[in-house]
Amino acid sequence: MRVVVLAVAIFLLTVPAWAHHAFAAEFDLKKPVKLEGTVTKMEWINPHAWIHIDVKGPDGKITSWMVEGGTPNILLRRGFTKQSLEKGTLVIVEGYQAKNGENRANGSNITFADGKRLFLGGSNPNEQPQ
Amino acid sequence: MLFLAAAGFSQTPPKTASAKPWTPPKTPWGDPDLQGVWPGTDLVGTPLQRDPSLGTRALLTDQEFAQRVERAKKQSDIDSQETVNEVTKCDPTRGGLGNTQTTCSNGVSIGPPLYWDDRGKPNRQASLVVDPPDGRIPPLTPDAQKSAAARASARRARPCAATAGGCHDSWEDESLWDRCITRGLLGSILPSTYNDGNQIVQAPGVVVLRNEMIHETRIIPVSSNGAGRPHPSPAIRSWMGDSRGHWEGNTLVVETTNFNDQTQLNNATVSDAARVVERFTRTDANTLEYRVTIEDPKTWTKPWTVQFPLKRDAEYRLYEYACHEGNYYMYNALTGARAEEKRAQ
């Protein structure tokens, strides 16, 4: 993947440097998803963090999803903390479902309910001051 | 912040940096003390090879540097958009890999969010390659060209190569990086996108170099005098080769041979004839100049050298890197390819 990463480095602004691996191998562009769910668990693991959320369907049925995140080092250096995504936090994920049909998705856009981006604000707007 | 970083950048040409008369502290047993965490993060975004239009200029002019700073500022502005909006969404009319019809749908890119990546700090270094003087990796040998062409042609001949996700018939189709094996010696320290932490720990007769990505660690025997212990038999080969170090003044010189012939660098195979010589020199309290020369007569027609400064960062932490445990990618890619095959039947 290194060749891809280096090649991408010279591309235009807003182009993500496709880090580490091929997203098109994992996720299906024909299966866009928009998920509104509450956080059940955050896995702080290398090479990528994963956010687990419960999504309530129109019929009230709950399905559990996993959403891929960045590497813990960058998330933490960008001000994200263990308290930023407590259980029960509502997040909205726009992305694509895994090609294998499982409830896994990349999170191209992950926001809190008020539209603020998850890993940039570094704090949950609904979080109660400690 | 970017502007502050830019203003603080040393304009010293890389080649003369090691000439500064600064004496590094010593370890209790008398070796130069290189210990600490030295991330390459600031260098992310500095091109490996030089834009040919810059010729043999190792440093950007004021105007070129201003353009680099401006580009970085724009990128930073986009990355730090607090809310997702039309600027932060992908757009097929905009061009670039994340903005094509196959990677962007309804304004959402199949790639990760922009803020996943480190962007580095703009500097004046025209390229990480400093020798040959044009900053370009020398041409491949005719044999290496042939084998690179054969590999590419074998890849293209597979029907899966034409699919959006590429070939994932087995784990062997995944890169050594994706398989949590290695990025190779040079790949492990070249600044790239994220997890660029490097740590040095010393003990009498040993220097340990740890690279964050895939938690690569080299335990290097170092002699205080002379060229150090000989390498093992040529029959013994490994991904990262066999590293032996010695001190030349305050510079740690590490020579590595005994590579297997299975790692890739810039789309070429690092052969079993490769010899890599690294030089680590502290040039001030917070700078470790890193210089590495690759000689591989089976692959490149000439040796080539990369050099860049690593900056001490006491705040930077290297976190546990249980790569296989955390590697959902392998499962997702292989099961995804099987599901695609079923759908195609």
Chain B residue with CA closest to A123: the answer is: B82
The pLDDT tens digits for B184-243 are 999 999 998 889 999 999 999 999 999 999 999 999 999 976 656 789 999 999 999 999
Give me the pLDDT at residue A126, please: 52
Give me the pLDDT at residue A123, please: 55
- 3-class DSSP state of B87: coil
The residue to which tokens 């100049």 are assigned: B289
Q: Where are the domains of chain A?
A: 24-121
Half-sphere exposure of B220 toward its Cβ, with a 13 Å CA cutoff? 31
Alpha helices in chain A (DSSP H): 2-9, 23-26, 72-77, 118-121
* B298 pLDDT more than 80: yes
- Of residues B156 and B96, the one with the higher pLDDT is B156
- Which residues of chain A, if any, have pLDDT below 70? 1-21, 121-130
The pLDDT tens digits for B312-344 are 999 999 999 999 988 899 999 999 999 989 998
The pLDDT tens digits for B164-186 are 788 999 999 999 999 999 999 99
Q: Where are the domains of chain B?
A: 24-52+128-344
Size of interface A-B (CB pairs under 8 A): 228
Q: Cis omega (within 30 of 0) on the bond before A47?
A: yes
**Chain A contacts of B121, Cβ < 8 Å?**
none
Q: Running DSSP on this structure, what letter comes out for residue A117?
A: B
CA B198 to chain centre: 11
- 3-class DSSP state of B143: helix
Q: Chain A neighbours among B 65-124 (CB < 8 Å)?
A: 71, 74-75, 78-84, 87-90, 94-99, 102-103, 105-106, 108-118
Report how far residue A102's alpha carbon sits from residue B284's, in angstroms, rounded to the nearest whole number.
Answer: 52
The pLDDT tens digits for B9-60 are 344 444 555 555 789 999 999 999 999 999 999 999 899 999 999 999 999 9
Report how far residue A104's alpha carbon sits from residue A123's, in angstroms, rounded to the nearest whole number.
Answer: 24
Give me the pLDDT at residue A124, please: 56
Compute φ and ψ for A47, nearest 5 degrees: -80, -10
Report how far residue A110's alpha carbon sits from residue A63's, in angstroms, rounded to the nearest whole number.
Answer: 18
Give me the pLDDT at residue B10, please: 41
- Torsion sign across C-alpha atoms B101, B105, B107, B110: negative
Give me the pLDDT at residue B7, please: 34
**Chain A contacts of B338, Cβ < 8 Å?**
100
Give me the pLDDT at residue B18, please: 53
Alpha helices in A22-99 (DSSP H): 23-26, 72-77
Any chain A CB within 8 A of the CB of B161?
A: no
Give me the pLDDT at residue A24, please: 84
In this structure, whether the domain defined by A24-121 belongs to CATH 3.40.50.11030 is answered with: no
The pLDDT tens digits for A53-87 are 999 999 999 999 999 988 889 888 888 888 888 99
Half-sphere exposure of A52 toward its Cβ, with a 13 Å CA cutoff? 10
Give me the pLDDT at residue A13, please: 36
Report how far residue B132's alpha carbon sits from residue A81's, in angstroms, rounded to the nearest whole number.
Answer: 45
Q: What is the pTM of this model?
A: 0.87
Q: Which residue, A104, A127, A114, is CA-closest to A55?
A: A104
Alpha carbon of A69: minimum distance to chain B alpha carbons (Å): 8
Q: Which residue from A11, A28, A100 is facing B97, i.e. has the nearest CB?
A: A11
Half-sphere exposure of B50 toward its Cβ, with a 13 Å CA cutoff? 26
Q: Which ipTM was obtained for this model?
A: 0.84
Give me the pLDDT at residue A121, please: 58
Q: Cis omega (within 30 of 0) on the bond before B132?
A: yes
Q: Which helix (H) or strand (E) holds B213?
A: none
Give one DSSP letter per residue of B12-80, joined into a string. Answer: --HHHHTTS--PPPB-TTSSB---EE---GGGTTS-SS--GGGTT-SB--HHHHHHHHHHHHHHHHHHT
Give me the pLDDT at residue A122, please: 53
Q: Chain B neighbours among A 33-92 (CB < 8 Å)?
A: 43-48, 50, 66, 68-74, 76, 78
- Assess contact for B122 and B65: CB atoms under 8 A: yes
The mean pLDDT of B124-135, rounded to a whole number, is 98
The mean predicted confidence, pLDDT, of chain B is 89
